[in-house]
């Protein structure tokens, strides 16, 4: 009898300490983010919606920013840089047309959030960050979250990552004043580069560069945007 009581009280104690689904505010906040900010604005790719639902954005922001992690806005990540607005992350991912077997290059790792979203969909993500402490933090964060298909490097992403080229898709998450030729060179024919281009924050546009089978490119502007600048290593 005594031992049955003990088992019962142990069970009750355990049951009380396991959070139930409904109380998982971050999961709810994420679902709401996907519905109201992303699906409502026209993103339909199921792989993208599922990745945005899965990746825990609150793990990519500073601890005191966690309550704001799912709002419809970019957020500061230190060193004067930002994690992009959730909608922009989703939209750029959709524009890239990512496929399961793809090897993708991202320029501008920042927090590592965009890399994680891509890594949910594709085979491998190579990502480059100019600011060493940001690259180190992102590498640690992504490893602790269990991502084995993301490689982070410190460096100037303008030059791409020639050793790992060609890439099935390339995404730049900082604004350049022109399209870096090395990135076009490292893109596979038939595939896409997505990049914000513009020399001032008020004139930036999100550009899709499509590399045709014959190696020529066509460009299309799809949205006015505002990104931090792509800087060059001196
Ligand atoms: N994709 C990031 C946000 C990017 S903010 C995320 O999901 O959090 C843009 C990032 O590009 C910044 O961290 C900035 O330091 C980096 N950056 C700027 N110029 C760069 C360059 N030439 N090469 C690599 N990274 C660069």
Distance 111 CA to ligand 1 centre (A): 9
Catalytic one among 84, 111, 216, 221?
84
Question: Of 187, 207, 183, which Cα lies nearest the Cα of 128?
Answer: 183
Pull the structure tokens for residue 13.
């104690």
- 52: Cβ contacts below 8 Å, ≥ 6 apart: 30, 33, 34, 38, 86, 89, 90, 117
Is there a contact between 71 and 85 (Cβ–Cβ < 8 Å)?
no
Give CA–CA dist 189/23, Å, rounded: 47
Task: Give the nearest ligand 1 atom to 114 CA.
Answer: 7
Distance 172 CA to ligand 1 centre (A): 8
- pLDDT by position in tens, the chain (length 234): 455 544 445 444 444 433 333 337 799 999 999 999 999 999 999 999 999 999 999 999 999 999 999 999 999 999 999 999 999 999 999 999 999 999 999 999 999 999 999 999 999 999 999 999 999 999 999 999 999 999 999 999 999 999 999 999 999 999 999 999 999 999 999 999 999 999 887 899 999 999 999 999 999 999 999 999 999 876
Alpha helices for the chain (secondary structure H): 2-17, 25-33, 46-54, 86-95, 113-119, 132-144, 181-185
34: DSSP letter = I
Q: How many CA atoms lie within 13 A of 93 on its CB side?
A: 32
Tokens 């699906």 belong to residue: 39
Q: How many CA atoms lie within 13 A of 99 on its CB side?
A: 7
Give CA–CA dist 76/85, Å, rounded: 11
Is there a contact between 217 and 192 (Cβ–Cβ < 8 Å)?
no
Is there a contact between 51 and 117 (Cβ–Cβ < 8 Å)?
yes
Residues contacting ligand 1 via CB (< 6 Å): 81-84, 107-108, 110-111, 113-114, 128-131, 134, 156-158, 173-174, 228, 230-232
Pull the structure tokens for residue 73.
């806005």
Question: Of 201, 189, 192, which Cα lies nearest the Cα of 229?
Answer: 201
Is-catalytic flag, 84?
yes
- Burial class of residue 142 (count of CB atoms within 10 Å of its CB; 0-12, 13-18, 19+): buried
């Amino acid at each position: 009898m005594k031992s049955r009581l003990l088992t019962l009280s142990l069970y009750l104690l355990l049951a009380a300490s396991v959070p139930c689904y409904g109380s998982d505010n971050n999961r709810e906040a994420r679902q709401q983010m996907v519905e109201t900010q992303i699906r409502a604005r026209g993103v339909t790719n199921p792989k993208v919606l599922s990745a945005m639902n899965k990746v825990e954005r609150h793990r990519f922001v500073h601890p005191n920013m966690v309550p704001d992690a799912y709002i419809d806005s970019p957020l500061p990540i230190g060193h004067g840089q930002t994690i992009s607005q959730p909608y922009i992350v989703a939209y750029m991912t959709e524009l890239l047309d990512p496929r399961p077997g793809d090897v993708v290059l991202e320029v501008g790792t920042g927090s590592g959030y965009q890399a994680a979203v891509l890594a949910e969909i594709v085979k491998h993500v190579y990502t480059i960050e100019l600011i060493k402490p940001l690259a180190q933090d992102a590498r640690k964060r992504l490893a602790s979250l269990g991502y084995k298909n993301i490689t982070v490097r410190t460096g100037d992403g303008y030059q791409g990552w020639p050793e790992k080229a060609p890439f099935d898709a390339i995404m730049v998450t900082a604004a350049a004043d022109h399209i870096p030729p090395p990135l076009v060179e490292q893109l596979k024919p038939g595939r896409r580069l997505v990049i914000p281009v513009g020399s001032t924050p008020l004139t930036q546009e999100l550009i899709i560069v499509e590399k045709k089978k014959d190696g020529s490119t066509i460009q299309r502007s799809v949205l006015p945007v505002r990104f931090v600048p792509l800087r060059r290593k001196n």
